Structure 1
Amino acid sequence: MYGQKWRGRQKKIGVVLVTILIFSIVLGSVIPFIVYGDEKDKITIKAEVGFSSKYKIGGTTPVVLEITNEGEEFNGEIQINVLVANYSNVKEYVTYEIPINLPKGTTKKVTMNINPLTLQKYFYVTLVSNSKEVAKKIIYATPFEPERGFIGVLSDDIESLNYLKNIKIDIEKTQVVGNRLVELNTDNFPSDISIFDSFDLIIINDFDTSKLNDNQKESLKEWVLEGGVLVLGTGVNSSKVLKGFYNEFINIKDKGIISINDFSQMESITGKIFETESMDIVDFEIENGKGILFSDDIAISSLVNKNEGSIIIHHFDLGLNPMADWQGNSSLLTELYMNNVPDLVEVLMTNSYRNYDYRLNNYALRLFPRPSQSLLFILVALVIIIYIVASGPILYLILKYKDKREYGWFIIPLIAIVFSSIIYLMSSSSSIRNPVASSIGFVSLEEGENSGFMEVSLAVFTPKSGENRVEILKDISPKLSNYDYYYYYDNYHNTLNERVKVKINMGEKNKFTFYNSQSWEMNNISGKTIYNTSGPLNSSITLKDNKLVGTIENNLGFDLESCILVVGKNYYYIDRIKNNETIDIEKELASSFKSRYEIFDDIFGKSYDKKDMEEKWGKDIKAEDLQRIIQRRNIYEGYLDTMYNSMSYSVNNNTQASFGDNYIVLYGFNEEEFLEGVKINDKLVEHYKQNLFIIPLKLDYENTNYFEIPYGFLRPNIVSNAGYYFDSYDDSIWIHNSGDLDFNYILPKDINILEFQIQFTKINSIEEALIYNNAKGEWEELSPLAYSHNTNDYLNDEGTMKIRFKITIDNGQDAGIQIPYLRLKGDK
């Protein structure tokens, strides 16, 4: 009887459960599906990655989205997943996210800047609300290798410039631009300086530049100052093209249209006949302009060097005939750009760096000068000793005396709890338990300017494992650091496990969420921004009697500390240049040079030798101050090592390269808070900052009537029809083939050369050493003795002195030579 009743109850329970299950399936699948489908059908997404669906791997890339909502109001986020790693059956993504509100019946355009790090041919764009996917779209794009950038063209008549696809902007001048040519307009022209890093050239022709907004013009200016190359086609449209740049970026005077009829140099460069009798150009007067293409003695293309970058100004319109239809147009531009713009060659040679914190190693970020915890360690050790003594012999003697030794079973744990609480309270106030941030910034600042370009690398450390949120209060166009790219291919059909490594919120304040973090793991973020100062830094420095003499005036609004003044291979340490202070400079120029590491040992002490550091800085120096010195030395070494490495490279036929400049460079640190604060897990944390300012200083020839420039200070541009390798460590050149090796020294303008001398070593591979006599129009044998008569005969109208080595290589063996050094004396 009992069994039958129980079986009856089982049937009833089963019927109820089945009914509930069926009802749940229907309700849980139909209703949500209808809502999901309704929202998805009524939201449409249009998107484009990069420029015309092209992007450069490793470059900051805009994603332009147009989203239309025909359904109910939507509040949520747009998410884009970017692959960063593909290994061990796992795909790791970075999710870029931005909040969006879409009322019913609205369309919004949104631009999100992402950083694709792999050969990713498709991207998911997802709309999410309350962690629920509302709509998704796959967008496809073509990735381009990181070693070659785009050529951006801004013009109202892009069709007339189609021939630009045939110019060859690569070291060997063998690969046409082709589909790396990108059409720009006012909508997609970058306003974020980091996007410009995807471009090797920006060309503007027949376009009203006043239509660009202030952010676009300012970002373009900073990009050029940091090494970018801008090309301007002018001619009859010169006022249109220059309208947005007058008196802001380019000091240029339009003296009217003139007609030219000598095209011999153009024909000589290209081997193509210029089949027209005349061409209209603009007669420009350009401050600091240097002619690079001439008709008779009239410059028809000019070069202006701007800090580390260049501006090429064509005095004619690139898109009008006869230039647009001439068969030699692309060949001419190839030769002009590659042979006359060393900055472009350097960009191409160093274009494969992965992230812009390449001058840093993680060790430098870990060296922040955290206050010493030695007192805490001593106190904790003392508490532990007291605990051991109290819970051991003292407690034993007391309990033995009282004959209560059995009480030890609960007294000892009680004492342990008390002492553990004391240690916990002591350590809870220690910075060791608290998250911290460490950043290193590089600020490139022109002398006389009160704003510069800053690259920054930030590291965050937290004791908490798992999920950690980081917020930077200032927008620095951030991206993740320390990810290699290009090595992972994202296969659309790959079904590996997927996980999000980091989520980046691209809202008003840039927020990062790191997942699966280890305790005290270092997470890195890089960024770029404009750094504004209260005023400029100015100098008046010249070379006289084998000394560097003059003044440096600091009006930046803060002190510069641990400064190093670099003059050629001379390094001078200046402890501090205070704000609103002018210091006098009088430094002997060395005739022999130590290695950079020996110099740093002299300046900072041997960081690996405690005794040497104590002798250098004193035994009473605080631990955090000593750590600051060690970190700054490490930053200097990392930065200057990178400068050395980027100047050591191979150069192929008929290419000009620049191996340094004729500037003096002042380096100095400050510890200003430029990020406006860093939050970790919603709390402001201690932020340790080191900002290195890099300020080139020009020699002042105006306030002195006589000057001397020693060997090694002026650096040549090099042009060769023989391949070679240059090593800046010892200024050596290894020649691969027989041919000519030209050294072009660009001397200061408006000076009178009284005497000059070329120091060189003539080895067997140098068949002839020659110098060009412009007065005679011919090459003549180069003498190792001083030239003191008719010295200006060896300068052309642009102030350039040319030296040529004729090289003969036997048996295919490379030959090593030294760069010739120039010294000179002059007056005004």
Structure 2
Amino acid sequence: MLREQRNGMCASLARFAAVTALLSVLFPAAMMPAAAAPMAATAAPAPTVPVQAGTVVAEPVRLHVVPGYGGDYKPYHLIPIRVKVSNNGAPLKGLLRLAMKDTQPQVGYHVLPVSLDAGETKTYTLFGSEQISMPNIVVRLESDEGLLIAEEKVGGRGLNTGDKLIGVLSEQATTADFLGSLRRENAQSLHRVQHLSEADIPETAQSLKMLDVLVINGFPAEKLSAVQTEAITGWVENGGILILGGGAGYRRSAAPWLDLSPVSVHGETRWNGLRKLAEKAGVENVPSGPLTVAMGKLAGGRIIVEEKGIPIIALRPVGDGKVLFCAYDLAEGPVAHWPGNSPLWSRLLLPLIDGERAEGLNGGPRGIDFWQSLAMAAERIPAFKTPPIGVLAALLGAYILIAGPILYHVMGRWGQREWNWLAIPVAAVLFGGGLFLFGAKDRMGGTLVQNLSVVELHDRWADITTGAALFVPEGGTYRLQAKGGEIPRPLEMPDFSHPDHQQVHLSGDGDSMSLEFRDVEFWSLRKALFQQTAERGRIASRLVYEDGKMAGTVINQTPYAIRDARLLYGAEVIPLGDLPPGEAVPVDVLIGNEPVRQVTTFMGPASLIPLEKLLPGDPDPALAATRTNRASRERDILGSFFQGGPVLPSGEVEFFGWTDDPVVDYEIPGHPLRAVHLGLVHSTLDLAPGPDGSMLYAAGAFTAKTVNGVTEADRGANGFLVADSPIILDYMITEPESSSFFKQNGHFTPTRIRVDFWTHEPSFVFKKEIYDWHRNGFAEWDKVASNDCLDREALPYFLSPEGRLRFRFSHEDPALLQKFIGLPHLFVEGRMAP
């Protein structure tokens, strides 16, 4: 038996040797020993074997990764990740990927091709979400074949939602560091200061949105490209705050933004001390020592601090943002380390960057809820609308008649009733097939796309957000290629460890970004979000307040045909009709008489303007039920715009209109598109005083500041809870910098104030009191006001010399339960004097 086993083994070895010899003849390169492998490689390249993540095959290549600005980044933003690639080895080509450590090669979210010569260093920008704060998120450099060349952890520091990020462009390393010590009383938010270089400034305003404030002081602006300076301008118009430092280097550092500056500078001088600056800061320590001050005259906006007839600090609204002029160099000796910096800039900057609206009383900044609700609303594609119930009932009735009495009668006439066993199933198949084809006709013939957009217009630049829903008729890969500078992103930022999310890829940079969905299922839906800041014209206006009326014209200077336009001021909605591009519409309407009413919504009672008034059609809310279905998409967009909350008065003249024109520009190569577009166009307009200086500031123009009795838990978006302790609120009426709605430089003198009070429970009676500054005590509101109004004779008693109006609210519920009291709305008439 052993002999048989030996014979079998010999036979096997003989066969193996024969096969090996044959293979060595047919494929000599494959059978060479290891020492000869390099020679064989010239004839046929060896197959690439991907290495495991974390294995570095090229030490000379180094990555330096900085997310956000200086490593700081904020949630709910598309976060730029700057990657510096240093190649000290041979020339290389490959791909940068934002990915999860230890995942398979060629898997990642943002993918960017790279190419470097020997000894070359380049900086690339990837984009990610707040998920980059996870410890296992890395930037990976791979070869085209999937070999890992280098890898670096993203790292950085994620800020909280309420934290503020302040960027500084300066040649001095410590310029404006004092801005990091600003604190609002009882606030938990931080103010982070990051010193930037010209390389940190992106080329799109959209990528700057993480910054709340940008300080430019003693920095040579010529280091910035024209595209970068335009991006900063667009960022300001869309809500950014730009601080221009003065001194000897003002003209050089502020050159690209001289037209935006509130002060026109014509020279400079040397001073020894700025006493008015110390007075504004509320400190006795005056900055002393020689100081270079830029001299000029007010060009727009208003002066906040003035000394010897020269504006020292001035503020100018620009679109939704602001430009703050500072006549001195923030880094110059006498003021660089002045103890009054923190109190001064807390008074100047906190009301602007924190914004009372984001403080909790009037809502907060938009974020992921806005994006998700907009993209989800895009799912309501008109082509998928269910046929009317009457049509479905008629079709079902026809089928019953055909499959029942008609076939029975016909087959009876033919004497073939036994054929009904076949005829009825055939009729059912034909009927079902017909219904299928009827329903499928709108799903065939190309990729069906609906784009729902919100276009927020400013002076020149627009902030555009689009939620897109794509219904794909067949499976495969779909790549959304942006053509107009938009930045596409999936509705949900990918979970890198989730297999489905590994099929979503962002690629490209600059003006050519694309979002790719791989392995899409047949007849499925994909959703994407597009964000862009671009020039789209503006809604121009010439509106004045005179004799109790708003009068003037509104002009459409955008490329969009706008329909069903409205103006909203306070609680009044003014219909304008349709506005083709370039057209103007007259306005002449009484304002200030409509109270802010309590309206019950699905979220409960609230003080708001009925949403139906802003929907297309007749603005009368009583007709809302007749157009609920027709306006469902418009209703969804408005709900996204107001973040699902109440429509609160803003204090400004707001423009709302609708357009069916394309707002976003993208294509899907290889797939024809059938696109449906709907966009909300929104803008804020100026209302100027009349020739005699008369002016009306409507509800929302003045923000309440709590004096006592309110904790953070008691505050809501539009009111507060009162328990056994009274609540005291202050409104600053005549101090311009207390409100961002004062766009005129002058002194406002109120002549009449109307106050709208409200609560969730109409039967709940609460006590309202107003402070009498002459008698130094509170007086009952109902005894001093006439029809909830304070007239010219009463105002000297209840308006303090500095313009403060103080209310106290309480209730006498025996159970001492917390009761909700709505935030009062003020309508203030008066005169603006130079």
TM-fit CA distance, 1:504: 1.2
Instruction: Please say if 1:756 is aligned against 2:752.
Output: yes
Question: Are positions 1:99 and 2:113 aligned together?
Answer: yes
Higher RCO by CA contacts (8 Å cutoff, separation 6 or greater) = 1
Q: Which amino acid aligns with 1:557?
A: P
Change (3 A) 1:114 1:732: closer
CA distance in 2, matches of 1:387, 1:90: 59
Q: Report if the CA contact (8 A) 2:751-2:792 is conserved.
A: yes
Alignment of 1:329-408 (within 5 A): 329-338=341-350, 340-341=351-352, 344-346=355-357, 354-355=367-368, 357-358=370-371, 360-370=373-383, 374=387
What residue is the counterpart of 1:699 in the other structure? 687
Residue 567 of structure 1: CA displacement? 1.1
Instruction: Give the Cα–Cα distance (whole angstroms) in 1 for the partners of residues 692 and 754 of structure 2.
Output: 23
- Larger mean Cα displacement after TM superposition, 350-359 or 803-812: 803-812
What one-letter code is carried by the residue in structure 2 that aligns with 1:454? Answer: I
Paired residue for 1:153?
Answer: 168
Structure 2 residue corresponding to 1:476, chosen from 464, 481, 486: 486
**Does the 8 A contact of 2:770 with 2:806 survive in 1?**
no
1:506–1:381 distance in 2 versus 1, CA, 3 Å: farther
Q: Is the 8 A contact 2:730 2:807 kept in 1?
A: yes
Please give the alpha-carbon distance, in whole angstroms, between the structure 1 residues aligned to 2:308 and 2:706: 25
What is the aligned counterpart of 1:459 among 460, 464, 469?
469
Q: 1:239 aligns with which of 237, 248, 251?
A: 251
Post-superposition offset of 1:348? 6.8
Give the match for residue 202 of structure 1: 214
The 8 Å contact of residues 60 and 89 in structure 2, kept in 1 or not, is answered as: yes
Contact 1:228 1:343 survives alignment (8 Å): no
- CA deviation digits over 1:697-730, x for unaligned, max 9? 111336x4475637x4472244555474797876
How far did 1:412 drift? 11
- Secondary structure at 2:336's aligned position in 1? coil
Within a 5 Å distance, the mapping from 1:636-651 to structure 2 comes to 636-641=638-643, 644=646
Tell me, in whole angstroms, the C-alpha distance in 1 between the residues paired with 2:57 and 2:756.
74
Contact 1:233-1:314 at 8 Å conserved across structures? yes
Task: String of CA shifts for 1:625-677, please: whole Å, max 9, x gaps.
Answer: x86632113312332355758x7xxxxxxxxxxxx654211111112223334
On the 8 A contact 1:235/1:281 being kept in 2, the answer is yes
Distance 1:742 1:418 in 2: 72
Deviations for 1:164-214, whole angstroms, at most 9, x for unmatched residues?
44x22566367764xx32121111123232332322321221112243222
State the match for 1:437 in structure 2: 449
Identify if the C-alpha distance between structure 1 residues 230 and 344 changes in structure 2 by more than 3 Å, giving closer, same or farther: farther
User: In the alignment, is the contact (CA less than 8 A) between 1:47 and 1:65 conserved in 2?
Assistant: yes
CA drift of 1:134 comes to: 4.6
CA distance 1:733–1:551, change in 2 (3 Å):
farther
Cα contact 2:219–2:253 (8 A) shared by 1? yes
Match 1:79 to one of 97, 101, 108: 97
User: Cα distance, 1:423 vs. partner?
Assistant: 7.5
Q: Contact (CA 8 Å) 1:439, 1:688: kept in 2 or not?
A: yes
Q: Is the partner of 2:256 in helix, strand or coil?
A: coil
- Quote the sequence identity (%): 13
Name the structure 1 match of 2:237. 225
Q: State the partner residue of 1:622.
A: none
Partner of residue 542, structure 1: 544
Residues 1:348 and 1:117: Cα distance change in structure 2 (over 3 Å): farther
CA distance in 1, matches of 2:634, 2:778: 49
Partner Cα distance (1:223, 1:382) in 2: 61
Cα distance change on mapping 1:716 and 1:17 into 2, 3 Å? farther
Distance across 2 between alignment mates of 1:271 and 1:377: 78
Separation in 2, partners of 1:95, 1:574 = 46
3-state secondary structure, aligned to 1:323: helix
Residue of 303, 315, 324 corresponding to 2:336:
324
What amino acid is the match of 2:486? I
The amino acid of 2:828's aligned partner reads R
Is 1:513–2:516 an aligned residue pair? yes
- Label 1:58 to 1:427 Cα distance change in 2 as closer, same or farther (>3 A): closer
Give 1:278 shift. Answer: 6.1
Residue 114 of structure 1, aligned match among 128, 143, 146: 128
Query: Do the aligned residues in 2 keep the contact of 1:124 with 1:137 (CA within 8 Å)?
Result: yes
The answer on 1:673 being equivalent to 2:673 is no
Q: Cα–Cα, structure 1 residues 512 and 430, in superposed 2: closer, same or farther, change >3 Å?
A: same
Q: Are the aligned partners of 1:168 and 1:175 in contact in 2 as well (CA < 8 Å)? A: no
- 1:243, CA displacement in angstroms? 1.4
Contact 2:265 2:296 in 1 (8 A): yes
Give the alignment's TM-score, normalised by structure 2.
Answer: 0.75
Q: What's the offset of the Cα at 1:81?
A: 1.6
Query: How far apart are 1:133 and its partner, in Å?
Result: 2.5
Are the aligned partners of 1:767 and 1:806 in contact in 2 as well (CA < 8 Å)? yes
Answer yes or no: is the 8 Å Cα contact 1:442–1:694 preserved in 2.
yes
AA at the equivalent of 2:464? M
Shift of 1:562: 2.2
* Cα distance change of structure 1 residues 528 and 601 upon mapping to structure 2, 3 Å threshold: closer
Deviation at 1:734, TM superposition (A): 6.3
Task: Name the CA distance, whole Å, in 1 between partners of 2:504 and 2:96.
Answer: 15
What is residue 297 of structure 2 aligned with on the other side?
285
Shift in Å, 1:465? 5.8
CA deviation vs aligned residue, 1:103-146 (integer Å, no higher than 9, x gap): 66755432223334352245433344555225231234222233
Structure 1, unaligned stretches of length 5 or more? 618-625, 648-659, 773-777
Q: What amino acid is the match of 1:686? A: R
Q: 1:391 to 1:250 in 2, by over 3 A?
A: farther
What are the Cα deviations for residues 450-507 of structure 1, in whole angstroms up to 9, with x where unaligned?
A: 44222222232335567544333333122333459xxx9x9xxxx9989724111225
1:35-84 per-position Cα deviation (integer Å, ceiling 9, x unaligned):
9899942761323222344433443333333445677765543222269x
| Residues 57 and 90 (structure 1), Cα distance of their counterparts in 2 relative to 1, 3 Å cut | farther
In the alignment, does 2:212 pair up with 1:216? no
Q: Give runs of aligned pairs for residues 781-792 of structure 1, distance below 5 A.
A: 784=785, 785-787=790-792
**Which of 560, 566, 569 is matched with 2:568 structurally?**
566
Distance 2:614 2:349 in 1: 41
Is it true that 1:139 corresponds to 2:157 in the alignment? no
Match of 1:821 among 799, 807, 826: 826
Alpha-carbon distance in structure 2 between the residues aligned to 1:215 and 1:299: 31
SS at match of 1:215: helix
The one-letter amino acid of 1:575's match is: G
What corresponds to 1:715 in structure 2?
701
Query: Any stretches of 5+ residues in structure 2 without a counterpart?
Result: 602-608, 737-741, 758-764
Tell me the residue number matched to 2:606.
Answer: none
- Does the C-alpha gap of structure 1 residues 527 and 419 become closer, same or farther in structure 2, counting only changes over 3 Å? closer
Aligned residues: 770
Residue of structure 1 in register with 2:528 after alignment: 525
For residues 21-100 of structure 1, the aligned pairs below 5 Å read 40-41=57-58, 44-50=61-67, 51-67=69-85, 74-81=92-99, 95-100=109-114
Q: Distance in 2 between matches of 1:631 and 1:128?
A: 44
Q: In 1, Cα distance between the equivalents of 2:189 and 2:488? A: 33
**Residue 436 (structure 1) shift:** 2.1
What's the RMSD between the two structures over aligned residues?
Answer: 5.5
Query: What residue number does 2:739 align with?
Result: none
1:768 to 757, 763, 771: 771
**Matching residue of 2:671:** 683
Q: Which residue of 2 aligns with 1:621?
A: none
Question: CA 1:563–1:640 in 2, change beyond 3 Å: closer, same or farther?
Answer: farther
Summarize deviations over 1:513-539 as a string: whole Å, max 9, x none. Answer: 335656655433223223434x54322
